[in-house]
Amino acid sequence: MFVGIIVTLLGLLWFLQGTGIIHLRPILCVANCEPITEPSLIWAVIGAVAFVAGVFLIRVGVRRKSSKS
């Protein structure tokens, strides 16, 4: 469930950056350290997919926890 929360939050951040709503400087970058200054369809899609995957992981974690009780 913890991983799901992290993936959901990262997905939301990537989506908001990809759509141009949030502008942040790169932190701890490894390769190409350029900020996303204009809307990016690629990052918006990656963010949306990560957000949905994170929500799915959270739901799986909640179901497993409630079935063990």
Tell me if 7 is assigned to some domain: yes
Tell me if 27 is assigned to some domain: no
What pTM does this model have? Answer: 0.82
Confidence of residue 32 (pLDDT cuts 50, 70, 90): confident
- 46-56 pLDDT, tens digit each: 999 999 999 99
Tell me if 9 is assigned to some domain: yes
Tell me if 29 is assigned to some domain: no
**Integer Cα distance of 35 and 4 in angstroms:** 26
What total number of domains does the chain contain? 1
* Per-residue pLDDT at 15: 95
Tell me if 48 is assigned to some domain: yes
Tell me if 10 is assigned to some domain: yes
**Integer Cα distance of 45 and 29 in angstroms:** 21
Query: 47 or 33: whose pLDDT is higher?
Result: 47
Query: 32 or 11: whose pLDDT is higher?
Result: 11
Please tell me the least confidently modeled range out of 3-17, 24-38, 43-57: 24-38
Tell me if 33 is assigned to some domain: no
69 by DSSP, 3-state: which? coil
Tell me if 30 is assigned to some domain: no
* Per-residue pLDDT at 26: 75
Q: Could you tell me the residue range of the domain that residue 44 belongs to?
A: 2-22+39-68
